[in-house]
Chains A and B, each alone.
Chain A
């Protein structure tokens, strides 16, 4: 290689290195990138973030309640689907009393609601220490949300899963709910959050009732005044996710995916004008969005009016439910007259005629119907169906609730959501 080539090569190398360094220098000025927006997990260990973490728990639960609420309303015939299109949590199969593992949103959102609550409680305890945590408002509220999340799962799923583990019976979730409500009562008591403590007590009563602990249920219920109400709030902001979807799904903007037509409340409200089960026709909107299979075809659109706005809250616990728990406890104890008295007191309070019953079986029929009216569209009916079948309670459901005909034990109908396919596909503990 000639000296000229070597010289030229050296010069080239110098120039190349200089220019490379220049470009690298320009590029290296800002290699460290911090993008705003998402927050790293460790930042949430700051106690200043805890209130927002608790709000996140509430939002996740409200979301889960929306999805399970609307689908369970269809499967229990609290509402009637108007279309075969599975939108807004109203799948056509549910109309026929079927719940599919493909109903993923209900599973994933309820699981998220449970998980974020537990994760938040774990974080609070780690950061604060258990002593400080035990008297915090955030701790009380977190336990309440966690308890409601467990109750939502336990009442609506026969089996469920915790953190990727094996399938567990609904009772596991209801007992977890009971434990969370108990802790909520304790922490709220120390944090002077009386509404949270009362809600937790009322919720614990409902869970104990489901578990068959009628003495404990009645004891908790008795501590809750009839006019007590604790609700899941919804918000009419510009974010649809914060809406009450049972209302929104039939609010004609633009969906009308469910109707009160051909449900127990259709005729009942026409006959009684019970303010707990209102519905109305809508001018210019004779039918729902689509159609179902013949012979139903197009479904007349009767809009429910229990919820009248995107911001309508959904009851989580009420004193009136406590009275029904007391009535059911009386029925379980064989005192059907006391049960009827309790039920009719509730009816009288809202201005509708009392039920009559001539014996225990009829009283059970009345109680079942009354719970359907009182807790309408609150995501409770599916759990009621299941425990009544489980406990072989006498009495009938409304004929439309057993339609298609399935007998008193509701054979052929799904009484709980199955574990979602997405969990089965990913969880190694499930087949």
Chain B
């Protein structure tokens, strides 16, 4: 690990050094030219000269030296310059790609919309301009020798982008118009405020995608749910692909000791997400496929959806360097007890927190800080017709609001595209990441800072003084993650219309958690240490062939077929050591008592598919397909399953009767199946080889079910995409209904039959349905001011249609699976008269609602202001979900001095119990307190992001583009009045990874305020 870290550091340094040197030469060249004729980027003659000059760095200045002897033999060349603007407004468009197809010549426009193509061979060329969200334009230009040709372009906004290429959910690339299901796309070049990780990038941007279960800790991961909960028993985390390579999506393990019982609870109580190993700056776009109708071709594991990440690629043309520097602070906003609950603390009754702090921060104020965060990203992209490259390096150094929390992250990436011949194209993408995370002990952790601070003298030290609580920071919780993801894609076109794509991918992560209580630690004097090393490797092989043929003059067919194999191996090796002989830095060998545990797991999934797309008149598209998949969990017969799909797309607006002025409309419908396989050991009866007093012992592990199969989800999705009023109004609507049959349910076994626990059985039938509606409008479109606004509404209503005769069961955290209720419905006790001064009237077994929100509203608006200033904001409103508050409950059962009971305690002490409200009679008398009364509606609004971008153009010397962005993320929260404490998005017991979440002694995701500077040269 250390080696990897050093290697990464060295790589980042080399990249930086190269950047300085290379960038210096580039900018020197341009500057010299600009100085001569005064043009901003450099006029054609000057640039032409620059191509014939070499730069010599000399003391005190720069010398431009002609390439002697070559001028006379160089080919005849000219240049092309111009601007790219928005049609009708003249607003400059930055980051538009201007290139001459097939030549390797190209450039990006700068903030002023200007571009420059130097060294273009004289003659006639096709010049093409593309930018995501705008219709492409191409034009024939005549380039004259030693002259500059000026070509300006105007691009039109393209709300639907029907001819844009998407990849997700299809066996290869497809045009949007051909795809019968919705494909959500996040274009990272449009994401101005720096996302700290992928979770933050996706949060609140995609209809039907919910990111939850996060904490305010360093390195914390989150749960991503697409269209709610699809599987009860298996992971609902979507499959993740990076550049076509399958990578780990489920969270890493927790940094908790491997020993049994309560000692398992001594970790940082969060989980790192493999998604967050990825540097967001390397991402070009993310495609999200949300349901079985679209994920059929991904097979047995894809019912919960797929996220495809595409990283940046090299582009033909000179090297373009991009440097981004972020500096900011992260800060916890109030997340404590709501003001409506705060009574008056009476010191004599011992209900005042000794260390200070305020209820709105759960008394943690003395330990919270405004934490500094910085990030540096440097990349270069360029290439020729034969070789394109994108290289990047980044370094993140982030502190977090809790006192021991910090994260250092290094990453390098190299993406290469090589044209081996006209028939063979090779793409090789590799990233190497390393991070080191330090955490404060939080959550429902008896050694945790947050728990012991919040509970004051009812804590595990009987002491709420700051001095004692500070000593809890002596523990060390460290996580190191090294990650390598590499993939090679070979594209082969042996004959026209027949393409073959073979991708081999390898994703390996090494996660190591160290958990140390040094000798003399206040709550474990002899000390202990655990080290857990988890490695995960995924090897994916993927072949896809596509043959296109014209069946008739207006009927085209595209037949695709392929085979895939995914092989995943996990290895978890943990060591535990306790009772150190004395102070010093221990190892696992140091303690008097040691223990080692190991688990290994290998799973192979494989299958093949065939799909045919029929295209009639370029506006009717019918796709039918079938996938057959197997999984090693089913033993030697591999449990082959067939998953069919069909979709239809109709571009109504391409009909002859449709006036162009009406805009664009595409209708679509899709139906498909996908699955979810059970775990490797679920089908067989097994025993755990264990020990008892050092002697071998067997204990029941899994009762087994030989008839187990994957659960199948079938989904119907219908909707339309439309753009009206000259693309000023766009809308996208989707209705979906998913039915999972043979749903894997953890059916409780009869305890008296051996207490084997629950066994997965294919007995359930679940349903998810909802709508997704997105509306965006350009409300004002003037040269000096553009105001755009939009919203997205996603609904999700789940229901357990049948349990197949199995009894209803708990999925933990007061979530239940019961027929007729939402999946994971929160069930508990409803106090019907909470605020009455009376005995409580309790409604037991009350179904509050699902854990997942039923409605998610995303709001967005942006302004383009004079001077190129851009101001934007995004917000998210969620409602319909419920959560149980375990942190408050367990504190109150211990009589902890919480504001919920300030007044009640005073009344009780004064013998005025009759003054208590019904709610207080339950909350404030520890033995009466029941866990399932603390149910809160997860109804909230969060201002996800506001940012202001200030373009600097070429104000910064020696750059072609520069800008400064000021942004704030998660800067304001509104909560429902009955959400009484914590934060609705907070993680569960171990942070992420729960079907039903519960609130514990965590801190919420912090607000992050960042100033970013970006320069391109």
Contacts and interface: CB of A to CB of B under 8 A. Distances in A.
Interface of A: 1, 5, 8-9, 11-13, 15-16, 19-20, 22-24, 26-28, 30-33, 35-41, 44, 49, 51-53, 55-56, 58-60, 62, 83-86, 88, 92-93, 95-96, 104, 107-109, 111-112, 115-116, 119, 160-165, 233, 235-243, 253-255, 284-287, 289-294, 297-298, 420, 422-423, 425-427
B687 A39 contact: yes
A107 B547 CA distance: 63
Given A84-B929, A92-B927, A235-B694, A240 B753 contact: no
B543 A84 contact: no
A306 B312 CA distance: 68
A8 B751 contact: no
Contact of B750 (A95, A119, A286, A426): A426
Interface string B524-562: 100000000000000001110101011100000000011
B561 A115 contact: no
Given A56-B699, A233-B693, A115 B754 contact: yes
A294 B908 contact: yes
Contacts of A236: 593
Contact of B754 (A49, A116, A255): A116
Interface in B819-849: none
B909 interface: yes
Most chain B CB inside 10 Å of its own CB: which residue of A60, A165, A235, A239: A239
A429 to B, nearest CB: 9
Contacts of B807: 425-426
Given A238-B576, A243-B261, A84 B894 contact: yes
B496 A8 contact: yes
A382 B685 CA distance: 36
B632 A31 contact: yes
A238 B594 CA distance: 6
A55 B695 contact: yes
B346 to A, nearest CB: 14
B685 A40 contact: yes
Given A52-B696, A95-B927, A164-B750, 20 more contacts: A12-B545, A16-B500, A27-B565, A37-B600, A39-B689, A55-B695, A55-B698, A56-B697, A85-B894, A88-B262, A108-B751, A109-B755, A111-B754, A115-B754, A237-B593, A237-B595, A238-B594, A292-B927, A425-B807, A426-B807
B636 A23 contact: no
A55 B926 CA distance: 40
B248 to A, nearest CB: 18
Interface in B238-265: 259-263
A19 B608 contact: no
Nearest to A6: B549
A238 B595 contact: yes
Most chain A CB inside 10 Å of its own CB: which residue of B497, B542, B543, B685: B543
Contact of B927 (A49, A93, A160, A243): A93
Nearest to A110: B755
Contacts of A93: 927
B595 A19 contact: no
Interface string B495-515: 111101010000000000000
Contacts of B458: 289-291
Interface stretch (B14-22, B54-62, B89-97, B700-708): B700-708
Contacts of A37: 598-600, 688-689
Contacts of B595: 237-239
B563 A24 contact: yes
Given A16-B500, A37-B600, A236-B593, A22 B755 contact: no
Given A115-B754, A294-B909, A20 B698 contact: no
B398 interface: no
B-side interface size class: 35 or more
B500 A59 contact: no
B699 A238 contact: no
Nearest to A291: B895
A38 B688 contact: yes
A53 B695 CA distance: 11
Interface of B: 259-263, 446-447, 458, 460-462, 492, 494-498, 500, 502, 523-524, 541-543, 545, 547, 549-551, 561-565, 567, 576-578, 593-595, 598-604, 606, 608, 630, 632, 636, 638, 680-681, 684-702, 704, 748-755, 807-809, 890, 892-896, 908-909, 925-929
B698 A423 contact: no
A235 B563 CA distance: 53
17 contacts: A8-B498, A12-B498, A26-B565, A35-B681, A39-B688, A49-B698, A56-B690, A85-B894, A115-B753, A160-B752, A163-B753, A164-B750, A238-B577, A254-B447, A286-B462, A289-B460, A294-B908
B262 A292 contact: no
Contact of A31 (B447, B492, B604, B750): B604
A237 B680 CA distance: 30
B926 A161 contact: no
A368 B576 CA distance: 45
Contact of A291 (B695, B750, B926): B926
Contacts of B500: 15-16, 19
B447 A291 contact: no
Nearest to B496: A8
A85 B561 CA distance: 59
Contact of A420 (B461, B751, B890, B892): B751
A407 B272 CA distance: 57
A242 to B, nearest CB: 7
A182 B309 CA distance: 68
A162 B751 CA distance: 10
Contact of B260 (A16, A240, A298): A240
A255 B523 CA distance: 10
A238 B927 contact: no
Q: Which 9 A-B pairs have the closest CB atoms?
A: A290-B894, A291-B895, A84-B926, A240-B261, A27-B565, A238-B595, A84-B893, A38-B686, A55-B697
Most chain A CB inside 10 Å of its own CB: which residue of B524, B893, B928: B893
B498 to A, nearest CB: 4
Given A111-B752, A164-B752, A290-B896, A12 B562 contact: no
A30 B604 contact: yes
A241 B600 contact: no
A33 B545 CA distance: 29
B895 A290 contact: yes
Contacts of A1: 549, 551
A163 B549 contact: no
Nearest to A92: B927
Given A52-B689, A111-B751, A422-B748, A39 B567 contact: no
A55 B543 contact: no
A30 B687 CA distance: 25
A15 to B, nearest CB: 6
B693 A242 contact: yes
Contacts of B608: 20, 24
B749 A426 contact: yes
Contact of A19 (B543, B550, B576): B543
A84 B261 contact: no
B176 to A, nearest CB: 26
Most chain B CB inside 10 Å of its own CB: which residue of A49, A51, A294: A294
Contacts of B460: 254-255, 289
B928 A11 contact: no
A239 B694 CA distance: 11
A254 B451 CA distance: 13
A163 B749 CA distance: 11
Contacts of B690: 56, 59
Contacts of B262: 88, 240, 255
A11 B927 contact: no
A35 B680 contact: yes
A257 to B, nearest CB: 10
A22 B543 contact: yes
Contacts of A59: 690, 692, 697, 699
A23 B503 CA distance: 10
Contact of B541 (A16, A27, A53, A293): A27
